[in-house]
A and B are shown apart, each in its own frame.
Chain A
């Protein structure tokens, strides 16, 4: 059996698979259950300074080869999240705190609290609506991204991962602005929409949504490859991973670890041990001795 252990920004992982933010990670008991099911780490639902109820259902639509969602970033607010972190951490594995906000001050407040709660790293969700520049996202404003990360890096000791949006003209511009982050997580959902022709209206209550799942896998592979090649940063790949081949593809494109979200919906919680077994036998047959030996090997 190949050894699947790896480390990412100094955090030890028993295998390269983590639960992606936004899927089954609001309730501490659920996160604990996912960790006990075989995920090496979980990323929490994105948490902000203030409580948000999110959008009213329909918040999700099942579409061919993926999911479309506009959940609206519901979360109890960081001050009410300590109990869930405590419960999740009972599993004894890393819990990564996903955070969001509209300003550097908000990110810092939430990030410091996450660190107090025992988060092993912070993952910055840069895809939330940016109130100042109406219509844009925090992640498409390089100056703001730079300010948020500089501020956070000065205030917390745990690693800071920047989750980048594919919904920009030039991802390298944002990556450069986020250059002080310890790692990049790519990709967040791709902007999408679904209309019910019999109801003659958008399915999601928010009309616009984000597409995830197999439909976006090759978008994720491309950005993983590009960012690894052009920035040399530690990359965490996410988007459409459902099989061990998908995970290995991301790793060979430059990902040091991967996150799985929609795959939990299509394959169930057993997706984590199943992909681990698959990676392990692939490594055995290819005579690869460690995950690190596969990272970026496909990059030309």
Chain B
């Protein structure tokens, strides 16, 4: 296990914090680490800061993520990695589409030429919306408290997708599926970063698999073409025990 000391904690939303820590290691956007809270558990979290100082952005959810959001500067953070692949690089204007805490893994991709579709349950949960200039931001909220009311895909309907060279999408799988369905017959290409139940992070336990591929070692980023005819993406997954369930 690798360990570091947390240098800074930034509160991003009422339920989400970023933990920044030094780690002398090259990492790529899209990659993740398995973060261990001794006594609680271990969860996969994508790196939201990939420069000299590394960082993760965590939303309070289960016991381990909640314990993570309560860590303070000066405390130890334990993790292993980096694991997983990265996004395809492209020139031109990119469209960044993030749902909920899915924006965390997309943060390293934001440039001055990016347009953001940032979606969340409600206004106060819009993550990293301030990283886009106002004219390059489409905010979407489930409850309509800010921007367009509805799910992320509603934000896409207000944009001319032909203006963008590439779309990068991260969020809950059903949100990704709705975006894929919407762009399936459109010209725009896209990379999707997936989140699934993950136990080992190194391609052995088969918990995160989809269509025979392991999200942890062969993903978590998959191109649009790979997902279009998937038998499991957005449809089925295995539970903690390995029981096949509808998403």
Contacts and interface: CB of A to CB of B under 8 A. Distances in A.
A24 B204 contact: yes
B91 interface: no
Contact of A26 (B41, B201, B205, B217): B205
B170 interface: no
Interface stretch (A57-65, A141-149, A221-229): A57-65
B35 to A, nearest CB: 10
Q: Which 7 A-B pairs have the closest CB atoms?
A: A33-B212, A76-B243, A57-B42, A26-B206, A29-B212, A26-B242, A53-B240
Interface string B235-247: 0001111111000
A74 B242 CA distance: 7
A77 B205 CA distance: 17
Interface residues of B, number: 37
Given A59-B200, A199-B36, 15 more contacts: A23-B204, A24-B204, A24-B209, A24-B214, A53-B240, A60-B199, A61-B1, A69-B200, A75-B242, A76-B241, A198-B78, A199-B1, A199-B76, A205-B42, A264-B203
Contact of A60 (B205, B210, B242): B205
A170 to B, nearest CB: 31
Contacts, number: 122
B41 A33 contact: no
Contacts of A268: 217
A187 interface: no
Q: Which of A36, A57, A196, A261 has the most CB of B within 10 A?
A: A57
A199 B242 CA distance: 31
Given A74-B240, A74-B242, A196 B78 contact: yes
Contacts of A244: none
A25 interface: yes
A199 B3 contact: yes
A9 interface: no
Interface in B52-96: 76, 78, 80
A20 to B, nearest CB: 10
Interface string A4-36: 000000000000000000111111011011101
